[in-house]
Amino acid sequence: MKSQIYNQAKYYEIAFSFIDPKKQGNLFEQFTKKYGEIKVEAVLDLACGTALQLREMAKRGYKAIGLDASSGMLDYLKKESLRESVKIEKVKADMNNFTLKQKVDFAYIMMGSIVYTKNNNLLLSHLNSVADCLNSGGLYLIENLNIDWANPKFWKPQIWTMKRGKVKVKTTFQLVPRNLLSQVVTQIIKLEVDDNGKKMEFIDKDEVKIIAPEEFKLLVEKNDKFEFVGFFEREKVKPLKEISSNNIALLRRK
């Protein structure tokens, strides 16, 4: 996979280390308890990257499977999971067309990574692949669908800096309109790294698609393998009252 950012797993992890894996693990368990219809033993992290959440789920005793297209991310995950003595099965595959050797009871995709379905046909194909490996009654949780595009803030650059030891990473994330008739935008992620005084810059520009909430629901209906449970707040099991980029879409396998 050609990506400057995702081949820099350590710097990516530092850049996005504002997340709290314990809180996210608790949230997953609250969702599966309330809306899932089966006991959760095996979980699948799609576009897992360095998989902070999956490492937490493995520590809680779940069978943990992480899928990603980037060897850089999976190699880093292998190293970190060995260091932390957690067991994680790693699968290198395209999340839009994959099969797993075993079924899981809960699947999730975090940090807006659903955007890498890139168009409606690939989203449908992605849903087919997830459905094929998810047991009936199991949940598929999608964090941060790109639905809030009518909000001017959606188009503004987001800039933040994170530090770990003597490594500092400044991240700039921005969506820029490209062809709004087909809902295509350019997603730009830039990492400016200062690693013990050595300065580096990595940048990815991807063409991705924004989506409307009702369009998403229709695609789920067309796919016909999931029930749409609802849109929720990003950090609470609380139905979303107003449109927001901080959202979770929850599906349940029929």
Ligand X SMILES: C[S@@+](CC[C@H](N)C(=O)[O-])C[C@H]1O[C@@H](n2cnc3c(N)ncnc32)[C@H](O)[C@@H]1O
In the complex, the smallest distance separating the C-beta of residue 113 from ligand X, rounded to whole angstroms, is: 4
Nearer to ligand X, 38 or 204 (CB): 204
In the complex, the smallest distance separating the C-beta of residue 37 from ligand X, rounded to whole angstroms, is: 25
Angle formed by the axes of helices 52-59 and 21-35, nearest 10°: 70
Q: Which two tokens stand for residue 103?
A: 């079924």
List, in sequence order, every beta strand (DSSP E) within the chain. Answer: 42-46, 63-68, 88-92, 104-109, 134-143, 158-164, 167-179, 184-195, 198-209, 226-233, 247-253
Residue with nearest beta carbon to ligand X: 49
Total residue count of the chain as it appears in this document = 254
Nearer to ligand X, 24 or 32 (CB): 24
Rounded CA-CA distance 122/69 in Å is 15
In the complex, the smallest distance separating the C-beta of residue 52 from ligand X, rounded to whole angstroms, is: 7
CA atoms within 13 A on the CB side of 11: 24
Rounded CA-CA distance 74/48 in Å is 8
Other beta carbons within 10 angstroms of residue 172's beta carbon come to 14
In the complex, the smallest distance separating the C-beta of residue 250 from ligand X, rounded to whole angstroms, is: 17
* 3-class DSSP assignment, residue 84: coil
In the complex, the smallest distance separating the C-beta of residue 57 from ligand X, rounded to whole angstroms, is: 12
Nearer to ligand X, 4 or 38 (CB): 4
Going from the C-alpha of 147 to that of each of 85, 130, 246, the distances in angstroms are: 38, 21, 10
Nearer to ligand X, 16 or 31 (CB): 16
Nearer to ligand X, 38 or 188 (CB): 188
Interface residues with ligand X (CB under 6 A) are 1, 6, 16, 47-49, 68-70, 73, 94-96, 110-111, 113, 116
Nearer to ligand X, 1 or 82 (CB): 1
**Nearest-CA neighbor of 113 among 97, 96, 125?**
96
In the complex, the smallest distance separating the C-beta of residue 7 from ligand X, rounded to whole angstroms, is: 9
